[in-house]
């Protein structure tokens, strides 16, 4: 047998990816692997003799590096003797300060760290992350690339990202020789959008360092580390070479964060039978030992592999927490595509989004996915409104700000013009007016003209040969009337002199002042403390461009031609064919259209025609004392010669009622007002007449729209509020006369 | 005024008097006016060993021992030419250098008054010898 429901689910996007059962010997196990070593630390005479299942003679490069630089033996005896569960509870205890946990972490071995993190459930991990984040306020990083390596589009996107509040942005290259051009476009664009945004260009280390020395980029996060020796060596590095490189970058005033993440060891074939979380604990121990201020982790490019095994998403959150516990800045992944399923992807995101990390993503694609040359982009330009709405829903700051379209267009155009000027001044191949225009308004690079790529790379080589630097960029901007952008680019050069952003979790404010874990630390100790989204920032993040003022949603009835005229108080009729049409207090007055946007005059006309077609005689009354459709209809029925009435609420909901029924009972209820047409109301009128004359009546067929409520509940609420505002308590119903002849 | 590694951070905002270019141009001397006059050279835009040592003090005072050590190595490397930096990095990659070659790099670093980094390279050489990560001479 085959279930049609199973078949239907098998076609969902989720099923494009594979889930596998754990294979510990291949490292395909998220956490608490059966082969993970027992945590231990043997110390004799001030020297480490054993760690996590190995004698010192058997230590690999990772063990050796961690023992040499990453363990505080004065803390170790205290910390290693603590109960795993006691440590785990301290991680979520708001009364245990972050500083105490960081102190203890200095004496814990990787196996112990992984073991303790493995004891936390997802909500506990989120609380721990919120508490352990190094910098007070969360932030975000953007990815800025495009397939044509168009400098105008790079600059425009960088400016948009900066204006939206990203504190860092990263570009890369399709063709390596483009690097200086892309770095310049990113620098100019970012500083046009907001002074102080830090930029990087992910390329090979030598080239990267060269760009940094010239002041074209300010940070690097290309320094990858791995959790087993064979994978580290296959990556053509050792902990010492990576640590040396980190110091080399810092010596040139470049902010550095290392990169690690679960899954890479399994993917590269040498997980040595250990769990992903344990191997990541080894990576993070190396990162701290190397003296990196921070790390980009959270599985990064292997995220789909980690999420293929049970508990993968939890392990990824666990590794972010672990990094924060080790006092490292955390750029917490969410950049590579995690899943085909929007639901699953978003569910995974919440682990970092809700607690907040130093950089909630290590690269939010500010351009559409097609232009993301990092290999996708988990969240991109098309997802921005969702991201902003989810921030607004949760009252959570995940580092992206809403900005009005016209303002962004101005920012984008200015950035494209600024980089056009810099290219001209530096003698680089010209950026055309068409490129500027399309970079400002276009969807992606496909809309832009092709550039002469051979000429571009030649010019890039020449640029490097000439020794062009950030100073030349500033001067070019100054000469072309972009004085403020020139000043911002120059300030990024001054930042390299003071080196303040070399401290943990540093970002630069628009005022040029560095905020890091040193001068703006996270001191969360429970409700009422730490970073809270409130005040001006909360007002800013609420103000999405598509938010409307409730009053605008309903329109203003002032000054419109009257649809009905009110007369005297209504009395009971005596015509047995009479069907009263009873409308609500605001009908055809304060409210003039139904929720389906039908004119109230047309609705009344259709209802009356239907009643006449059914052999009845319509009479209009307005019920003033209530807004509920059942009572409107029942009041009408009490006035009707036949005892039958059709009640109409202003939003279009209708009820056919009879005087002898209880008010909340009815003959027919028409609750799907968003779906009704004028014809529906005519049919309701016919049926009402049928009931009045005692004929057999088949109910008016109605459709169902399960999304009507989600789509229209706000309008429904506002319409009903206006109806209830029109209620006159205790007032009698009034005779009503239709005065307009509605256009059909 | 004496340097207080916690109170005086960030240096750029609180102690600009302690920040200069290698040639001694003060922070506010790195201005558009100076740029227009041609008074700034690209190789002047780099942190000095002194500034990096102050940042190491800040890291140390914040309890970040390893970051402080990294910044101390950075302070030592500030005087080492770019090409040399990249050559030492390459030598430290797996199986690129013999024990003697690594020792020679360490000695060169000593020559740049970079004792901590020199010790770091020697420590790597010892670990590489144990783990088979030296080049065969």
Instruction: Provide the CATH number for the domain around residue A223.
Output: 3.20.20.350
To the nearest whole Å, the CA of A513 is away from the closest chain B CA by 6
pLDDT tens-digit series, residues A173-209: 988 999 999 999 999 999 999 999 999 999 988 889 8
Number of other CB atoms surrounding residue A697 within 10 Å: 18
Q: Same domain, yes or no, for A474 and A592?
A: no
pLDDT of residue A740: 61
Q: Same domain, yes or no, for B61 and B111?
A: no
Residues of A with Cβ-Cβ distance to B77 under 8 angstroms:
247-248, 251
pTM for the full predicted model: 0.94
Q: Are A472 and B42 within 8 A, CB to CB?
A: yes
Q: Compare all CA atoms of chain A with the CA of B85 and give the residue at the minimum distance.
A: A248
Domain-ending residue, one of A493, A525, A547? A547
Could you give the CA distance from residue A202 to residue A170 in angstroms, rounded to a whole number? 7
Q: Same domain, yes or no, for B6 and B69?
A: yes
- A–B CB contacts, 8 A cutoff, strictly below: 214
Q: Same domain, yes or no, for B90 and B49?
A: no
Could you give the CA distance from residue A128 to residue A213 in angstroms, rounded to a whole number? 38
pLDDT tens-digit series, residues B30-75: 999 999 999 999 989 999 999 999 999 999 999 999 999 999 999 9
Residues of B with Cβ-Cβ distance to A499 under 8 angstroms:
11, 47, 51-52, 55
Domain-ending residue, one of B43, B64, B79? B79
A9 in a domain, yes or no?
no
Rg (CA), chain B: 18
DSSP class per residue in A271-317: -TT--HHHHHHHHHHHHHHTT-SEEE-SSGGGHHHHTTSTTHHHHHH
End-to-end CA distance of chain A: give it in Å, rounded.
Answer: 54
Give the residue from A487, A319, A374, A396 showing the smallest Cα distance to A147.
A374
Domain-ending residue, one of B62, B79, B96? B79
pLDDT of residue A742: 47
A356 in a domain, yes or no?
no
pLDDT of residue A743: 47
pLDDT tens-digit series, residues A691-712: 999 999 998 887 788 888 888 8
In the predicted model, is pLDDT for residue A389 greater than 70? Answer: yes
Q: Same domain, yes or no, for A561 and A617?
A: yes
Residues of B with Cβ-Cβ distance to A64 under 8 angstroms:
127, 130-131
Q: CB-CB: which of B12, B75, B93 is closest to A500?
A: B12
The more confident residue out of A519 and A555 is A519
Q: Same domain, yes or no, for A193 and A222?
A: no
A348 in a domain, yes or no?
no
Q: Same domain, yes or no, for A577 and A506?
A: no
Q: Are A513 and B12 within 8 A, CB to CB?
A: yes
pLDDT tens-digit series, residues A449-486: 999 999 999 999 999 999 999 999 999 999 999 999 99
Residues of A with Cβ-Cβ distance to B8 under 8 angstroms:
none
| Chain B touched by A74 (CB under 8 Å) | no
Q: Same domain, yes or no, for B18 and B75?
A: yes
Domain that holds residue B131: 81-137
Residues of B with Cβ-Cβ distance to A245 under 8 angstroms:
89
Q: Are B130 and A213 within 8 A, CB to CB?
A: no
In the predicted model, is pLDDT for residue A421 greater than 60? Answer: yes
Q: Same domain, yes or no, for B50 and B88?
A: no
To the nearest whole Å, the CA of B97 is away from the closest chain A CA by 12
Tell me the residues of chain A between 474 and 503 that have a Cβ less than 8 Å away from chain B: 474-475, 478, 483, 486-487, 490, 493-500, 502-503
Mean pLDDT of A88-97: 98
What is the helix (H) or strand (E) element at residue A648, kind and residue range?
Answer: strand A644-648
Q: Compare all CA atoms of chain B with the CA of A476 and give the residue at the minimum distance.
A: B36
Q: Same domain, yes or no, for A236 and A294?
A: yes
A170 in a domain, yes or no?
yes
Q: Same domain, yes or no, for A537 and A558?
A: no
Q: Are A503 and B120 within 8 A, CB to CB?
A: no
Question: Which of A73, A251, A463, A493 to probe the B interface (max B CBs under 10 A)?
Answer: A251
Could you give the angle at the alpha carbon of A100 between the alpha carbons of A98 and A104, nearest 5°? 115
Question: Which of B105, B127, B128, B130 to probe the A interface (max A CBs under 10 A)?
Answer: B127
Q: CB-CB: which of B11, B36, B124 is closest to A498?
A: B11
% of chain A at pLDDT higher than 70: 99
Q: Same domain, yes or no, for A586 and A624?
A: yes
Q: Which CATH number is B112's domain given? A: 1.10.1510.20
Tokens for B92, please give them: 């430290």
Domain-ending residue, one of A517, A547, A577? A547
- In chain B, the number of structural domains is 2
pLDDT tens-digit series, residues A649-670: 999 999 999 999 999 999 999 9
Contact predicate A641/A577, CB 8 Å:
yes
Active site (catalytic) residues of A: 141, 143, 170, 221, 296, 335, 362
Tell me the residues of chain A between 446 and 475 that have a Cβ less than 8 Å away from chain B: 467, 469-472, 474-475
In the predicted model, is pLDDT for residue A40 greater than 90? Answer: yes
Helix axis angle for B65-77 and A239-251, nearest 10°, is 60
A351 in a domain, yes or no?
no
Q: What is the rounded average pLDDT for all residues in chain A?
A: 96
Q: Same domain, yes or no, for A305 and A374?
A: no
To the nearest whole Å, the CA of A478 is away from the closest chain B CA by 8
Model ipTM over 0.85: yes
Q: Same domain, yes or no, for A314 and A374?
A: no
Q: Same domain, yes or no, for A169 and A269?
A: no
A260 in a domain, yes or no?
yes
Domain-ending residue, one of A515, A530, A547? A547
| Chain B touched by A288 (CB under 8 Å) | yes
Q: Are B62 and A65 within 8 A, CB to CB?
A: no
Q: Same domain, yes or no, for B47 and B92?
A: no
- In chain A, the number of structural domains is 3
Q: Same domain, yes or no, for B92 and B132?
A: yes
Residues of B with Cβ-Cβ distance to A486 under 8 angstroms:
32
Domain that holds residue A513: 140-202+361-547
State phi, psi for A416 to the nearest 5 degrees.
-65, -40
Contact predicate A514/B10, CB 8 Å:
yes
A11 in a domain, yes or no?
no
Q: Which CATH number is A710's domain given? A: 3.40.50.10150
Q: Same domain, yes or no, for B73 and B85?
A: no
Contact predicate A493/A213, CB 8 Å:
no
Could you give the CA distance from residue A682 to residue A612 in angstroms, rounded to a whole number? 10
Could you give the CA distance from residue A146 to residue A161 in angstroms, rounded to a whole number? 14
% of chain A at pLDDT higher than 90: 92
Q: Are B47 and A499 within 8 A, CB to CB?
A: yes
Tell me the residues of chain A between 581 and 640 that have a Cβ less than 8 Å away from chain B: none
Q: Same domain, yes or no, for B2 and B64?
A: yes
Q: Same domain, yes or no, for A378 and A488?
A: yes
Q: Same domain, yes or no, for B51 and B70?
A: yes
Q: Are B30 and A472 within 8 A, CB to CB?
A: no
Residues of A with Cβ-Cβ distance to B64 under 8 angstroms:
293, 327, 504
Q: Are A487 and B94 within 8 A, CB to CB?
A: no
| β-pair partners for A514 | A508
Q: CB-CB: which of A102, A472, A503 is closest to B58?
A: A503
Rg (CA), chain A: 34
Q: Same domain, yes or no, for A718 and A629?
A: yes
Q: Same domain, yes or no, for B93 and B67?
A: no
pLDDT tens-digit series, residues A575-622: 999 999 999 999 999 999 999 999 999 999 999 999 999 999 999 999
Q: Same domain, yes or no, for B9 and B73?
A: yes
To the nearest whole Å, the CA of B127 is away from the closest chain A CA by 7
Q: Which is it for the CA torsion A102, A105, A110, A112, positive or negative?
A: negative
Tell me the residues of chain A between 312 and 341 that have a Cβ less than 8 Å away from chain B: 327
A655 in a domain, yes or no?
yes
Q: Could you tell me where the beta strands, DSSP code E, fall in A59-147?
A: 141-143
């Amino acid at each position: 047998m085959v279930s049609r429901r199973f078949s239907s689910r098998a076609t969902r996007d989720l099923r494009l990816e594979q889930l596998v059962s754990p294979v510990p010997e291949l490292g395909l196990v998220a956490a608490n692997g059966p082969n993970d070593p027992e945590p231990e630390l043997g110390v004799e005479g001030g020297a480490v003799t054993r760690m996590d299942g190995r004698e010192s003679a058997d230590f690999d490069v990772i063990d050796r590096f961690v023992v040499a630089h990453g363990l505080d033996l004065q803390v170790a005896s205290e910390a290693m003797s603590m109960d795993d569960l006691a440590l785990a509870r301290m991680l979520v205890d708001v009364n245990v300060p972050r500083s105490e946990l960081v102190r203890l972490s200095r004496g814990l071995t990787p196996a112990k760290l992984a073991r303790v993190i493995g004891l936390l459930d997802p909500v506990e991990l989120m609380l721990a992350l919120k508490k352990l984040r190094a910098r007070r306020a969360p932030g975000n990083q953007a990815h800025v690339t495009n397939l044509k390596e168009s400098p105008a589009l790079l600059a425009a996107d960088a400016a948009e990202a900066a204006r939206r509040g990203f504190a860092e942005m990263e570009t890369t290259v399709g063709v390596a020789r483009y690097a200086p051009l892309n770095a310049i476009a990113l620098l100019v664009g970012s500083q046009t959008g907001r002074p102080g945004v830090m930029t990087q260009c992910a390329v090979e280390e030598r080239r990267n360092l060269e760009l940094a020395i010239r002041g074209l980029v300010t940070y690097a996060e290309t320094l990858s580390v791995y959790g087993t020796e064979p994978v580290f060596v296959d990556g053509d590095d050792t902990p010492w070479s990576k640590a040396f490189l980190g110091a080399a970058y810092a010596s040139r005033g470049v902010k550095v964060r290392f990169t690690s993440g679960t899954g890479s060891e399994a993917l590269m074939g040498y997980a040595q039978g250990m769990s992903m979380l344990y191997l990541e604990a080894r990576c993070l121990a190396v990162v701290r030992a190397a003296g990196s201020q921070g790390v980009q982790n959270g599985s990064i490019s292997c995220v789909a592999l980690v999420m293929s095994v049970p508990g993968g998403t939890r392990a990824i959150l666990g590794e972010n927490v672990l990094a924060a516990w080790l006092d490292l800045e955390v750029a917490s992944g969410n950049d590579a595509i995690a899943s085909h399923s929007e639901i699953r992807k978003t569910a995974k995101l919440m682990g970092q989004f809700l607690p907040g990390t130093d950089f909630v993503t290590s690269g939010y694609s500010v351009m559409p996915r097609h232009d993301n040359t990092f290999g996708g982009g988990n969240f991109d330009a098309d997802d921005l409104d969702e991201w902003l709405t989810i921030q607004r829903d949760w009252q959570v700051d995940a580092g992206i700000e809403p900005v009005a379209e016209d303002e962004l267009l101005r920012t984008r155009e200015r950035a494209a013009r600024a980089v056009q000027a810099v290219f001209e001044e530096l003698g680089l191949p010209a950026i055309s007016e068409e490129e500027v225009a399309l970079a400002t308004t276009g969807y992606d690079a496909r809309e832009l003209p092709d550039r002469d790529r051979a000429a571009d790379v030649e010019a890039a080589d020449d640029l490097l040969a000439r020794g062009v630097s950030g100073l030349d960029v500033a001067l070019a901007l100054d000469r072309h009337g972009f004085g403020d952008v020139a000043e911002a680019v120059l300030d990024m050069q001054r930042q390299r002199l003071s080196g303040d952003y070399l401290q943990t979790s540093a970002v630069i404010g628009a005022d040029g002042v560095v905020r890091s874990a040193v001068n703006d630390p996270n001191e969360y100790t429970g409700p009422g403390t730490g970073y809270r989204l409130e005040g001006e920032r909360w007002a800013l993040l609420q103000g999405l461009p598509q938010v409307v003022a409730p009053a605008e949603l309903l329109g203003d009835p002032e000054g419109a031609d009257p649809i009905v005229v009110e007369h005297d108080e209504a009395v009971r009729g005596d015509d047995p064919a009479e069907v009263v049409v009873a409308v609500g207090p605001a009908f055809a007055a304060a409210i003039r259209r139904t929720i389906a946007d039908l004119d109230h005059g047309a609705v009344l006309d259709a209802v009356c025609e239907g009643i006449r077609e059914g052999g009845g005689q319509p009479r209009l009354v307005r019920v003033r004392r209530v807004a509920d459709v059942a009572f409107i209809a029942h009041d009408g029925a009490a006035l009707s010669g036949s005892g039958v009435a059709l009640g109409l609420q202003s939003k279009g909901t209708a009820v056919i009622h009879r005087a002898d029924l209880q008010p909340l009972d009815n003959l027919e209820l028409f609750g799907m007002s968003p779906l009704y047409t004028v014809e529906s109301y005519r049919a309701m009128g016919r049926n009402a007449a049928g009931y009045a004359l005692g004929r057999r009546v088949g109910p008016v067929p109605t459709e169902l729209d399960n999304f009507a409520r989600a789509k229209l509940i706000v309008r429904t609420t506002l319409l009903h509020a206006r109806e209830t505002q029109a209620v006159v308590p205790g007032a009698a119903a009034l005779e009503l006369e239709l005065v307009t002849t509605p256009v059909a | 005024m004496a340097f207080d590694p916690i109170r005086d951070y960030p240096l750029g905002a609180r102690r600009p008097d302690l920040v200069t270019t290698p040639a001694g141009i003060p922070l506010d001397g790195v201005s558009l006016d100076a740029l227009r006059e041609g008074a700034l050279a690209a190789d002047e835009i780099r942190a000095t060993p002194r500034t990096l040592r102050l940042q190491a003090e800040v890291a140390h005072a914040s309890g970040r021992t390893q970051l402080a050590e990294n910044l101390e190595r950075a302070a030592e490397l500030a005087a080492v030419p770019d090409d040399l930096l990249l050559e030492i990095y390459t030598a430290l990659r797996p199986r690129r250098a013999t024990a003697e070659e690594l020792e020679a790099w360490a000695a060169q670093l000593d020559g740049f008054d970079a004792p901590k980094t020199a010790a770091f390279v020697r420590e790597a050489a010892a670990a590489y010898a144990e783990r088979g990560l030296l080049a065969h001479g």
